[in-house]
Chains A and B, each alone.
Chain A
Amino acid sequence: MNTGPYSDEKVRKFLEEQFIPLRSLCIWEKPTGLMERFGIKWTPTFLVHDSGGKEHHRFVGYVPSDDLLAHLGLGMGKILFDTDRMAEAMAQFQTVIDRHPNAGATPEAVFLLGVAGYKHTHDPKELRRAYETLKATYPQSEWARRADPYSAIPL
């Protein structure tokens, strides 16, 4: 049965259109092979794998619909980022930022947009712009602190 965010039609549609949705039951008394393979210690744990089965994104704990959709989009972006498709990764991270500005995963998308932008253009201003956005929009996030070294880059 689909409960929580899975009862949201937007989530169902996005999951079925963009992903292969897979549910793996955890049994604590006798951990399954998949639990051991992926080091699952708590539920829910969510993984995003590329089409070859390599893990690119993981998050733990209940998330409401908007947060889940942002994590899904972030996972798609990280697949592109990890496989050096930086222009596509930038577009995907920007989509997460535009569609889910208040989601918990979005500051990471801003950070990675800056990094992908820098790797794509070799212009360090991309990193400074990420810092500025994080400071202005998500000042309490860990990602704003991670971007702090980029504050010294001239614009």
Chain B
Amino acid sequence: MAEIRWETEFDAALEKARKSGKPVFQDFWFDG
């Protein structure tokens, strides 16, 4: 199954959002 292609840089995500008109879903996570 394909995996979600996550953006990891906030500014890059906003740039993609501005270009696409899509909202941003941001997951704050902890690797522990």
Contact = CB atoms under 8 A, between A and B. Distances in A.
Same complex origin of A and B: yes
Interface of A: 1-2, 6-7, 9, 11-12, 15-16, 18-26, 28, 34-35, 38, 40, 43-53, 56, 72, 75-76, 79
A12 B4 contact: yes
Contacts of A47: 24-26, 28
B22 A20 contact: yes
Interface string B11-32: 0011011101111111111110
A75 B27 contact: no
B28 A51 contact: no
B4 A16 contact: yes
Contact of B23 (A2, A9, A19, A43): A19
A26 B24 contact: no
A28 B31 CA distance: 11
7 shortest interchain CB distances as A-B pairs: A43-B30, A51-B17, A22-B13, A19-B25, A49-B24, A45-B28, A47-B26
Interface secondary structure of A, over-half rule: mixed
Contacts of B31: 25
Given A1-B3, A22-B10, A51-B18, A44 B27 contact: yes
Nearest to A7: B1
B17 A24 contact: no
Contact of B28 (A38, A56, A76): A38
Given A35-B28, A75-B25, A21 B6 contact: yes
Contacts of B5: 16, 21
